[in-house]
Amino acid sequence: MSRDGSHWLIAGAVGAAVVPALVFGIDLPLLVAAGLAVLVFFGLLFLLAPRRLFEGIDISRFGRGRVDLARKVLGEALPHIEGLEAAAIGLRKDAVKTRVRHLAATARAIVKGVEQDANRLGTVSRFLVYYLPSAGKVVERYALLERMDRPDPALVAQSEGTIAKLEDAFSHYKDSLLDTDLADLDVELRLIDAAIQDDIRLPDDRGQRP
């Protein structure tokens, strides 16, 4: 759910609609219907409330200062992601719409990756403070071009090319979050292969079969 406060409006609208439905629909007393409407309102408010950064994640592995910094940077990044999602809805060209949606989805995956490990913030800090806001500006201006009757074809093509390059950049930073986890994979694979070869050869060396 977006952080724009729409969950309050939805909960309020549903709660208000519950009263006449209960009173006129199943003949409940007004006070009882009002009480149930209040419960519905607060229940929906709880269910639809936006999730807070690092909520439900064990942050004891990280320093408080590092988590606070990550929460601040990610909190500033989220409006840019929401802006990309909103802009994609209004785009006319399907190919560009798909790219912009992929930009937003990739950005959310990066935010999730930093939430899971606040130590990764440094790996994607340039993405969060430069590439993500820049992508929002490019997409916003491209949307303006689409609304023009006679946009400059060269500017349209250049904008679409930049959006495509941004898609590659976003994917690069998403993959970079996993690089540290995969850094020693080749060594581990070699050790496992060597262990398997030794275990398979040992029975043969002793004249035995597995």
Instruction: For 91-140, write each residue's pLDDT tens digit.
Output: 999 999 999 999 999 999 999 888 888 888 888 999 999 999 999 999 99
- Across 5-122, the runs of DSSP E, i.e. the strands, are none
**Confidence at residue 51, expressed as pLDDT on a 0 to 100 scale:** 55
Average pLDDT of 175-191?
77
Q: Characterize 113-132 residue by residue with b for buried, 16 or more Cβ atoms within 10 angstroms of its Cβ, and e for exposed.
A: bbbebbebbebbeebbeebb
Q: What is the pLDDT of residue 13?
A: 57
% of the chain surpassing 90 pLDDT: 40
Q: In this structure, what is the dihedral angle of CA atoms 124, 126, 127, 133, given to the nearest 10 degrees?
A: 150
Q: What is the DSSP letter of 119?
A: G
| One-letter identity of residue 153 | P
Q: Which amino acid is at 20?
A: P
Mean predicted confidence (pLDDT) in 198-204: 66
Task: State the average pLDDT over residues 34-59.
Answer: 56
Please give the model's pTM, rounded to 2 decimal places: 0.65
Residue 157, judged by CB atoms within 10 A of its CB (0-12, 13-18, 19+), counts as exposed
Q: Give the helix/strand (H/E) hosting 125.
A: helix 121-126
Give CA–CA dist 7/13, Å, rounded.
Answer: 10
Structure confidence at residue 172 as a pLDDT band (50, 70, 90)? very high
What's the CA gap between 161 and 180, in Å, rounded? 31
| Percent of the chain at pLDDT exceeding 70 | 62
Task: Find the range with the poorest average confidence among 49-58, 123-132, 161-170.
Answer: 49-58
Angle between the N-to-C axes of helices 30-48 and 6-26, in degrees from 0 to 180, rounded to the nearest 10 = 150
Based on its alpha-carbon atoms, the radius of gyration of the chain, rounded to whole angstroms, reads: 26
The residues, ordered by sequence, that sit 6+ positions from 89 with a Cβ below 8 Å of its Cβ are none
- Residue 162, pLDDT > 90, answer yes
Q: What is the mean pLDDT of the chain?
A: 78
The pLDDT assigned to 189 comes to: 84
**Average pLDDT of span 78-97:** 93
